[in-house]
Amino acid sequence: MTLVICPNLALDRVLTAGPVQPGGITRGRVLRVQAGGKGANVLRATLAMGGAGRLIGFAAGPGGRLITGLAADEGLKLETVETHGEARVSTVVLGDDGSVTRLYEYGPELAASDEERYIVLAGRRPALPGEWAVIDGAAPPGVSPGFYAALTRAGHGAGYRVLVDATDEQLAAALAAGPELVKVNLAEACSVIGNAAEGCTDEKDGAPEQLAAEGLELCRRLVTAGARGAVLTLGPAGAVAVLDGAEWHVTTPAVRAVNPVGSGDCFAAALVLALQRGDDTAAALRQAAAAGAANAASALTGHVDPALAERLADRASAGRP
Ligand X SMILES: Nc1ncnc2c1ncn2[C@@H]1O[C@H](COP(=O)(O)OP(=O)(O)OP(=O)(O)O)[C@@H](O)[C@H]1O
39: contact with Mg ion by CB under 5 A: no
End-to-end CA distance of the chain, in Å?
A: 32
Binding partner selected for residue 76 from ligand X, Mg ion, none, CB under the kind-specific 5 to 8 Å limit = none
Binding partner selected for residue 260 from Mg ion, ligand X, none, CB under the kind-specific 5 to 8 Å limit = ligand X
Draw the binding track, 257-276, toward Mg ion (x: CB under 5 A; -: no contact).
-------x------------
Exposure b/e, 177-216, CB count within 10 A at least 16 = b: bebbbbbbbbebbbbbbbeeeeebebebebeeeebbbbbb
The CB-of-126 to ligand X minimum distance in angstroms stands at 29
CA distance 160 to 177: 13
57: contact with Mg ion by CB under 5 A: no
317-319 and 161-165 strand pairing: unpaired
Long-range contacts of 308-312 (CB under 8 A, 24+ apart): 309/49, 309/270, 312/253, 312/255
Of 156 and 221, CB closest to ligand X: 221
Angle formed by the axes of helices 147-157 and 112-122, nearest 10°: 30
Binding partner selected for residue 162 from ligand X, Mg ion, none, CB under the kind-specific 5 to 8 Å limit = none
Binding partner selected for residue 36 from ligand X, Mg ion, none, CB under the kind-specific 5 to 8 Å limit = none
Of 8 and 185, CB closest to ligand X: 185
292: contact with Mg ion by CB under 5 A: no
Footprint of ligand X (CB under 6 A)? 185, 233-236, 238-239, 252, 255, 257, 260-265, 267, 289, 292-293, 296
The DSSP symbol for 180 reads S
- Within 10 A of 308 (CB to CB), how many other CB atoms are there? 18
Output the residue with the shortest Cβ distance to Mg ion. 264
Residues that bind Mg ion (CB under 5 A): 264
